[in-house]
Chains A and B, each alone.
Chain A
Amino acid sequence: MRVLVVEDDAEMAESLKASLAADSHEVELAGDGETGQAMAINGSYDVIVLDRMLPKKLGVSVVRELREQGVSTPVLILSALHDEDHRVEGLNAGANDYLGKPFSTRELLARVRSLWHGRGREPQTRLQVGDLEMDLLARTVKRNSKKLDLQPREFRLLEYLMRHAGQTVTRKMLLENVWDYHFDPQTNVIDVHISRLRSKIDRDFAHSLLHTVRGSGYRLEA
């Protein structure tokens, strides 16, 4: 897919371009806010990765104006300022995701993919990955028609994984989206949650759905 990277630090921009290109995306670069905004309006991109501190026009203003002009391309803001206030400001301006610097490349790639997949989704009442089915209204989960008994927190975790089926989701994404926690636990809490969930959905079945992506996170895939 086509990704526009708006970043004024040339070295950073090249590194982002290389990583995204390696993940088989087509990447174009803009060095300041105004150029980035013009390119976003005229080009057809699938995802925009936008630095917050940009010359000529700040990232937040670029997003706000893009949204006002009816450009709905998903935007991921990168910023060294990533406490709650700044994050909320960015998301309120119309950004779809917010990633604090420094970040790992894997984290960025996972989020870019997630943004692309998350586009234009209808509100769903049922989720299905392979023979795993989730009924969001009845709050039940079945695998191969066999009912699975999940705790509420396991249900929420599985729901997120199913909504992002086929993509790698990082621990940080899970923390932010399932628990709304914006700090890094030092302990392996997330791994334990995942292994518990895995024992419920995968243990009695020959084919595993929940995979660990080494060094990155997890992926639910049929």
Chain B
Amino acid sequence: MRPSLALLRTTTFRLALAQAGVVLSFVVALLIYIYFATVGQLIRDSDLLLGQEYASLERAYAEGGIRRLGQEVGERAAREGPLLYVLAESDGAVIVGDFQHLPAAPRDTPQHIDFELPNSDGEESGEARGLIGRLLGGPILLVARDLGDSAVIAARIRRVLWTVAVLGLLISIASGLIASWLANRRAEDLSNTAREVMAGDLTRRAPVRGAGDEFDTLAEALNAMLDRLEQLMQTTRTAGDAIAHDLRSPLTRFRHRLESALEAPPDTEADRAALRKALDEADRLLDMFAGVLKLARVEASSNWRFERVEATAILRELVDFYEPAAEEQGLAFANNIDDALVLRGDVGLFTQAVSNLIENALKYTPVGGRVEVRAVRRQDGRIEIDVMDDGPGVAPEHRERVMERFVRLEGARSTPGAGLGLSLVAAVARLHRGGLHLRDGLGGAGERKGLCAALVLPADA
């Protein structure tokens, strides 16, 4: 495809062409209007005047014959004014009048004509409108009006308008071509970036010219998308490495147990113990896989069916569910859940998210500690669910990191769990256009600050 032809096909060019069409139609309409308002009106006025003059002379001819008519015409022709008269013999020879030759041959009925005025030198000097006719018995009568300056102006306006129309069309086409060439170049920048990214260079970004135009907006959106994409790729890569790393040790232990059970002399009791441990190890591995898959599905934001979630009922149910376990651990488990909290989301994910927060609190709070679940409708209309404890807490500098997947802070390695709990909650919060925030909790004895995990979600409208 030749580039010039491609340019003609661009949207910008088509728009420019359409615009030129509109401008041209407008100019033509204006032209027609001006023509009728000036020239048309002039001619209509003239025709009326000429008709009256012709009629009065015709009456003079009827009353006094050719002599009276000749006299009338002679008198009127001598008068200063825009009206001109000629009386001629039936053969066209001028008897009396303003000029020596008839500008046109008469018909039997009076007829309007347009003609150029001959001046004294025989040169043409302006336009005139006339009414020419043959009277009874043969003489020819012409009554005319010198249109003078107004006709010249009208003609000039017409010429100017035509020039403007033609020039306008040409300029529109030219500017259309230039605009589409410019737009094309910007679009080409974006396509090039997209192509390079597709080719594998995820660090490429579309140029932003700083003009603040729609191409900049588009380029910024594209770049933001690429940033997010790159970040996701990075997360996936990190997660992949983390999975590989985290799976390696349980898999190795798993293999080692089976291997040593095989190598040891047959001993039913020991074999069974080894098998049980291997099974536990396998279960942990499967749990991790299930967790990773669930997290991936939540992060992919694929077709979740959002519905009305009766948060109050679900939260009270969860508290009721965990209460015995908390008591068993020697924890004071309190709750303060507002009535009638309703949000829009996925019931299963919401339940699991809060359950993860409660389990975290139960897991990390030492015996004798306190855990509290609080849920309120905030001033800004959002629903905030706080799960607070007075455990060791998380230092502010680690708070972002513990929400990443597989991150388990020092000392947490010995407790069960794959380190996916908080990252799943954060992902669920993002899916619901909410957020998960960590801050100081209930503040326990001594240095213990406790942890408050605040899940903030939009309420059901």
Asked if B297 contacts A192 (CB within 8 A), the reply is no
Partner of B286, one of A102, A183, A186, A215: A102
Which residue of A is nearest B283, CB measured? A104
Partner of B417, one of A104, A186, A215: A186
- CA A85 to CA B362, docked complex, whole Å: 30
Asked if B325 contacts A189 (CB within 8 A), the reply is yes
Asked if B324 contacts A185 (CB within 8 A), the reply is no
Asked if A189 contacts B276 (CB within 8 A), the reply is no
- CA A143 to CA B421, docked complex, whole Å: 41
Asked if B362 contacts A192 (CB within 8 A), the reply is no
Asked if B320 contacts A153 (CB within 8 A), the reply is yes
Partner of B359, one of A84, A102, A186: A186
Minimum C-beta distance from A155 to chain B (A): 12
Does A205 have its Cβ within 8 Å of any Cβ on chain B? no
Partner of A185, one of B305, B320, B348, B359: B359
Minimum C-beta distance from A200 to chain B (A): 12
- Residues of B close to A196: CB separation below 8 A: 324
- Residues of B close to A185: CB separation below 8 A: 355, 359
Asked if A187 contacts B359 (CB within 8 A), the reply is yes
- CA A188 to CA B359, docked complex, whole Å: 10
- Residues of A close to B320: CB separation below 8 A: 153
- A 189-207 binary contact with B (CB < 8 Å = 1; else 0): 1001100100000000000
Which residue of B is nearest A193, CB measured? B324
Does B33 have its Cβ within 8 Å of any Cβ on chain A? no
Asked if A181 contacts B355 (CB within 8 A), the reply is yes
Asked if B321 contacts A189 (CB within 8 A), the reply is yes
Minimum C-beta distance from A86 to chain B (A): 11
- Residues of B close to A186: CB separation below 8 A: 359, 363, 416-417, 421
Does B328 have its Cβ within 8 Å of any Cβ on chain A? yes
The binding surface of chain A is classed by DSSP as: loop
Asked if A192 contacts B276 (CB within 8 A), the reply is no
Asked if A83 contacts B297 (CB within 8 A), the reply is yes
The binding surface of chain B is classed by DSSP as: helix
Most buried by B among A184, A187, A196: A187
* Chain B positions 259-314 with a Cβ under 8 Å from a chain A Cβ: 276, 283, 286-287, 290, 294, 297, 303, 305
Does B322 have its Cβ within 8 Å of any Cβ on chain A? yes
Minimum C-beta distance from A218 to chain B (A): 15
- Residues of A close to B287: CB separation below 8 A: 184
* Chain A positions 125-173 with a Cβ under 8 Å from a chain B Cβ: 153
- CA A179 to CA B325, docked complex, whole Å: 15
Asked if B325 contacts A183 (CB within 8 A), the reply is no
Partner of B351, one of A85, A181, A184, A188: A181
Partner of A153, one of B303, B321, B328, B363: B321
Q: How many residues of A contact B (CB 8 A)?
A: 20
Does A182 have its Cβ within 8 Å of any Cβ on chain B? yes
Asked if A187 contacts B324 (CB within 8 A), the reply is no
- B 395-438 binary contact with A (CB < 8 Å = 1; else 0): 00000000000000000000011000100000000000000000
Does B352 have its Cβ within 8 Å of any Cβ on chain A? yes
- CA A185 to CA B283, docked complex, whole Å: 14
Most buried by B among A181, A188, A189: A189
- Residues of B close to A183: CB separation below 8 A: 348, 351-352, 355
- Residues of A close to B359: CB separation below 8 A: 185-187
Partner of B322, one of A83, A84, A182, A189: A189
- Residues of B close to A193: CB separation below 8 A: 324
- Residues of A close to B421: CB separation below 8 A: 186
Which residue of B is nearest A214, CB measured? B276
Asked if B324 contacts A192 (CB within 8 A), the reply is yes
Asked if A84 contacts B348 (CB within 8 A), the reply is yes
Partner of A192, one of B290, B303, B325: B325
Asked if B325 contacts A187 (CB within 8 A), the reply is yes
Minimum C-beta distance from B318 to chain A (A): 9
Which residue of B is nearest A87, CB measured? B348
- Residues of A close to B325: CB separation below 8 A: 187-189, 192
The 7 A-B residue pairs whose C-beta atoms are closest, nearest first, are: A192-B324, A189-B325, A192-B325, A183-B352, A192-B328, A84-B348, A102-B286
- A selection of 13 A-B contacts at a CB cut-off of 8 Å is A83-B294, A83-B348, A153-B320, A179-B317, A179-B321, A184-B287, A184-B290, A185-B355, A186-B359, A186-B363, A186-B416, A188-B325, A189-B322
With A182-B348, A183-B352, A193-B324 known, 5 other A-B pairs at CB within 8 A are: A183-B348, A185-B355, A185-B359, A186-B416, A186-B421
